[in-house]
């Protein structure tokens, strides 16, 4: 392990001002073309770890985007900071299951600290809860689910979790328990229309204005 990390250290040059490759923001066509050299038959025997690192650096490093550089403005991506990069190395060496506290107390505690700092940073009131998700898609999904729960609770006057917990997951993911959805649809003058579904999936319903 220590030898591999020592070999990787001089190869990790993806910091602005440390490597001429990051004076540009996109790889050259020649560097992208060389990626085809990665396509080879499945090896019959293991490769030396040092050789794998060297190959990744030789072929992969020139074909990276200069996301860490000052001239990259694509998408909503930020360059890493040296402290964050070093912490990421440490987290990889820890190799923890960060799902919850019992398999990794330290990651659960770090999440709690980070969430509390974010609450203070954004001026949110005491008692606000939060969570880290896998990415922007799940963040949007979680926000929509929380917002829908708040709206239905305010309009219908119930926040019972038992109705949705007893329903198939595919229906819950589209909007909670059927009882909440049906009551909400009736209150807005909507009627349920069956939507086309895969034969093996749970049937779902879409709402349309009543005519």
CA distance 53 to 191: 59
pLDDT the model gives residue 89: 84
pLDDT the model gives residue 25: 73
Categorize the per-residue pLDDT at 156 as very low, low, confident or very high, splitting at 50, 70 and 90: confident
Indicate whether 41 pLDDT > 90: yes
pLDDT the model gives residue 106: 95
pLDDT the model gives residue 17: 44
pLDDT the model gives residue 75: 76
Q: Would you state the structure tokens that stand for residue 145, as one six-digit string?
A: 């689910």
**CB of 206 closer than 8 Å to CB of 195:** yes
What pLDDT digit, counting tens, does each position of 167-209 carry?
A: 555 455 555 555 554 554 455 554 444 444 444 444 333 333 4
Percent of the chain with pLDDT over 70: 61
Indicate whether 31 pLDDT > 80: yes
Indicate whether 18 pLDDT > 80: no
Half-sphere exposure of residue 194, counting CA atoms within 13 Å on the CB side?
5
Q: Which residues are CB-neighbours of 67 under 8 A, at least 6 positions away?
A: 74, 77, 79
CA distance 31 to 66: 13
Within 47-104, residue ranges assigned H as helices are 49-55, 82-94
Strands (E), 50-185: none
pLDDT the model gives residue 155: 85
What pLDDT digit, counting tens, does each position of 48-89 carry?
A: 988 898 899 899 988 888 777 767 777 777 667 778 888 888
Which of 168, 126, 173, 166 minimizes the C-alpha distance to 145? 173
Element containing residue 208 per DSSP (H, E): strand 205-209
Which of 110, 122, 7, 109 minimizes the C-alpha distance to 54? 7
Is the pTM for the entire model greater than 0.85? no
To the nearest 10°, report the CA torsion of 150, 151, 155, 160.
-40
The phi, psi pair for 4, rounded to 5°, reads: -65, -45
Mean pLDDT of 8-22: 56
What pLDDT digit, counting tens, does each position of 135-147 carry?
A: 889 999 999 998 9
């Amino acid at each position: 392990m220590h030898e591999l990390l020592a070999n990787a250290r001089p190869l990790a040059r993806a910091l602005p001002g440390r490597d001429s490759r990051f004076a540009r923001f996109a790889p050259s066509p020649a560097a992208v073309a060389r990626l085809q050299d990665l396509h080879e038959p499945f090896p019959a025997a293991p490769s030396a770890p040092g050789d794998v690192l060297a190959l990744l650096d030789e072929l992969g490093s020139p074909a990276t985007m200069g996301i860490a550089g000052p001239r990259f403005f694509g998408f909503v991506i930020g360059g890493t900071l040296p402290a964050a990069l070093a912490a990421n190395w440490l987290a990889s060496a820890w190799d923890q299951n960060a799902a919850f506290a019992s398999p990794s107390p330290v990651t659960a505690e770090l999440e709690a600290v980070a969430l509390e700092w974010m609450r203070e940073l954004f001026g949110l009131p005491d008692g606000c809860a939060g969570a880290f998700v896998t990415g922007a898609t799940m963040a949007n999904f979680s926000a929509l689910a929380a917002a829908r729960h708040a709206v239905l609770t305010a309009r219908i006057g119930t926040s019972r979790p038992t109705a949705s917990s007893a329903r198939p997951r595919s229906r819950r993911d589209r909007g909670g328990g059927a009882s909440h959805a049906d009551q909400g649809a009736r209150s807005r003058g909507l009627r349920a229309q069956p939507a086309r579904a895969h034969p093996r999936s749970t049937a779902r319903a879409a709402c349309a204005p009543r005519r």
